[in-house]
Each structure stands twice: as C-alpha cells, then as structure tokens.
Amino acid sequence: MAPSRMTTRSTRPDTEGSSWEARLGLEQKLDQILIILAEANRKAEMAHEAVLGLKDEVAEVHRDNAHLEGDMNPAKNCDKTQYLL
C-alpha cells in the first residue's frame, strides 16, 4: 500500500467528535425540514379552506342563476302539479 493511503490511528480525525457534530448538524437540518413542512402544511390547509369557500360561492351562483332563469322563462315557472289529477 502506498504511504499516502496508509492511515494510522494518530492521523485520523476525532471520529467520535466529528460524528457527534455530524449528528448535531443532521438534527438541525431535520428540525429545519420539520419547520418547513409544518409551514407548508399550514399553507395547504389555508388553500384548502379557500377552495371550499370558492366551491360554496360557485354553488350559490349556480342556484341564483337557476332561480333567475326560472323567473324569466314562464314555461319553467309554471306549476305543473296543477295539471295532475
């Protein structure tokens, strides 16, 4: 083995300390990811509520349009039950 590739215990970095630092770094990244996901979830819930509100408004407009079209069309406004025996 070439001397440059040989490593001894004395030349190795402190693996215990560096793994602790790496773990701390990963925990911090995980915390950041969780914060970002929580914020994305909050925004998704707000968007969902907005969509539900728009859906209700569209349904109301459809009802209003149907009512107005019925008022303008005498054939639709006619009570057909009066002709039943």
Please write the tens of the pLDDT for every residue from 12-58.
555 556 788 888 899 999 999 999 999 999 999 999 999 999 999 99
Q: How many structural domains are present in the chain?
A: 1
DSSP conformation letters of the chain: --TTT---TTTS--HHHHHHHHHHHHHHHHHHHHHHHHHHHHHHHHHHHHHHHHHHHHHHHHHHHHHHHHHH-HHHHS-GGGG--
pLDDT at 85: 47
Asked if the structure places residue 56 within a domain, the reply is: yes
Asked if the structure places residue 4 within a domain, the reply is: no
Asked if the structure places residue 59 within a domain, the reply is: yes
Asked if the structure places residue 15 within a domain, the reply is: no
Give 80's pLDDT tier (boundaries 50, 70, 90): low
